[in-house]
Amino acid sequence: MKFVLVTGGVVSGLGKGVTASSVGVVLKACGLRVTSIKIDPYLNTDAGTMSPFEHGEVFVLDDGGEVDLDLGNYERFLDVTLTRDNNITTGKIYQSVLEKERRGNYLGKTVQVVPHITDAIKNWIESVAAIPVDGKEGPADVCVIELGGTVGDIESMPFIEALRQLSFSVGQDNFCLIHVSLIPVLGVVGEQKTKPTQHSVRELRALGLTPHLLACRSAQVHLSPYLLPTCMWEGKGWQNFGFGIFYIDTNHFLDCGLDAAIYCAAQPLLANTKEKLSQFCHVPIANILNIHDVPNIWHIPLLLRTAIICFSIAAPSDLQAWTKMAETYDNITNSVRIAMVGKYVGLTDSYLSVVKALLHACIACSLKPSIDWIAASDLEDDSANLTPEAHAAAWETLRNAECVLVPGGFGDRGVKGMILAAKYARENNVPYLGICLGMQISVIEFARSVLGLERANSSEFDTESPDNVVIFMPEGSRTHMGSTMRLGSRKTIFQTHDCLSSKLYCNPEYVDERHRHRYEVNPEVIGALEEAGLKFVGKDETGKRMEILELPGHPYYVGSQFHPEFKSRPGRPSPMFLDKRGDKGDREGYLPCVAVIKFIEFFFPSLHLDMQATSQDEASECV
């Protein structure tokens, strides 16, 4: 087993997770089997009780693990299925050591950070690294480990010491350290500054670890507008002129007499900068990488490919499919406007998997997602009085969207706005997808507007309502919050194949999707809802818990209690996200089926499917 450790310095948020995932992609393309581990030095046992504003989304695994969002990156990039043990936290390590101490496993010894905590960390890493995550037997060839935070953080010290010991025990030939750092450029001087990275590497070396590669993130320089000779550019897009990576748009500033406009430039590392870094950081110049900004993150493995192979980590890689995917996205010109009505829109990482699932689906349909973020509270009537401009802007954005998506969340803030968004989509035939809370919102709205239950609500928001159509699940805990929800991959049984959801999934008997919820649709109101027209086409194995709802006669009005975004992959998008635009032409009403046809033709161009079907049944037959 070989280990690749990715650490970060200077500041957080440099892209360690994407770098670690991209390294895994390159190694996998070289024919190696790869697994991943994320180390989070915080004291929480897992990410399940953390606010999305604090830490981004909580990613859910098949085994029900609530983990850091970087594990979602690993799964999407590497197409693997990780476990909760692939996310190590300080809380888990100390909990395991203290449990052993209480059982008397240490035979009366004084329990200390070294060796007991560090040994626990090493043992955890080595045991988890041996677990296959790609569906094959036997351990992986390489384990990519990402250490969260930045070098020098107090809470990460035990992990750094454990990793130092691990590097010594496995040997130099089996351990590679990649340090991701920032090379800032001061606006006044315009000079690339290496001192922050020097100090970061010095701190790392003082702790016993020396980087083999430096992945340097250079600051962006904004130069808009800027005149370039016409011989240096060809059309619109990202281009490398040897002195920088520029985004050129020939469609703007023509009235000003400019040939092209540069919106931003990611400044490359200069030769003298690399020389200085090499001299003071004890890293060869050839191993200093410039990880500049790119039009999409699928280009990052392509940036790392040459360096990793030159470092003799692996044999030449085959990244043709990955290259094609990255370039395909760059060349897409058509887009679709999607209104994302949520509670945590102030931090887009709160819905990272939803955004990625939309991206996967849109690319499969040769579209670029244009996501309009709408704070649900801005749609509410109270907002019209308190913040009229935000209220008007939110409604204008919603009305201009081609489809509406209401993702998951907890708490009553913004719920009224979500209900209004669901009502707007239902009454105006705008395609709607509700995920988890979004499905419950559509049930509440339907009960109020169609059944006439004015106080219809969820017991999460109003425990006193006589008409709670969403209730707390009986097996849930009201005293403990962590790991007490209905979590992980569970079966959803289709009740009929004559529904949009079943067709999008290619008519299976059931699907396995991941869940994370405490509340469910009240079984006592199912009969009344279905009599009024709302259909629950997917249920759990008991038949009592509602999983998928649809509104017949609507172009696309679907809700899922599960989270389909967690299993979406590049090249294999989640069916629930496939092109939900309400087509303005005569194919309106069966566009999801057309989306499946587009998806098949995208990956199997030799197949010729009939795109001119004149009914939903004909479109289904084509699929």
- Say which of 30, 436, 499, 593 is annotated catalytic: 436
**Between 154 and 597, whose confidence is greater?**
154
DSSP strand E in 184-260: where?
213-218, 220-221, 237-240, 245-249
- What is the pLDDT averaged over residues 129-134? 96
- What is the pLDDT averaged over residues 310-332? 76
pLDDT digits (tens, 9 = 90+) for 147-192: 999 999 999 999 999 999 999 999 999 999 999 999 988 776 778 8
| Neighbour tally for 110: CB within 10 Å | 6
What pLDDT band is residue 615 in, cutting at 50, 70 and 90? Answer: very low
**Res. 590: pLDDT tops 70:** no
- What is the pLDDT averaged over residues 457-486? 89
Cα–Cα distances in Å, from 522 out to 243, 511, 525, 545? 62, 22, 6, 8
Burial letters 381-413, b for 16+ CB under 10 A, else e: eebeeeeeebbeebbebbeebbbbbbbbbbeee
φ/ψ of residue 23, rounded to 5 = -60, -45
d(CA 405, CA 393): 18
pLDDT of residue 480: 82
- What is the pLDDT averaged over residues 72-82? 95
Does the annotation mark 563 as catalytic?
yes
Does the annotation mark 565 as catalytic?
yes
- For residue 523, say if its preceding peptide bond is cis, omega within 30 degrees of 0: no
255 secondary structure, DSSP code: G
- Say which of 75, 515, 565, 593 is annotated catalytic: 565
**Between 414 and 596, whose confidence is greater?**
414
pLDDT digits (tens, 9 = 90+) for 427-439: 999 999 999 999 9
pLDDT of residue 567: 96
Q: What does the mean pLDDT of the chain come to?
A: 84
Global pTM reads 0.84
Q: Which residues contact 386 (CB under 8 A, 6 or more apart)?
A: none
Q: What is the maximum span of the chain, computed from C-alpha positions, in angstroms?
A: 81
pLDDT digits (tens, 9 = 90+) for 381-404: 999 999 999 999 999 999 999 999
What proportion of the chain, given as a percentage, has pLDDT over 70?
A: 83
| Neighbour tally for 525: CB within 10 Å | 19
**Res. 623: pLDDT tops 90:** no
Of 101, 81, 94, 90, nearest in space to 34 by CA: 81
Of 49, 128, 91, nearest in space to 99 by CA: 91
Q: What is the DSSP string of 161-174?
A: HHHHHHHHHH-GGG
What pLDDT band is residue 317 in, cutting at 50, 70 and 90? Answer: low
- Say which of 179, 212, 299, 563 is annotated catalytic: 563
**Res. 582: pLDDT tops 70:** no
Does the annotation mark 362 as catalytic?
no
Question: What is the residue type of 176?
Answer: C
Please tell me the number of Cα atoms within 13 Å of 143 on its side-chain side: 28
pLDDT of residue 22: 93
d(CA 167, CA 175): 6
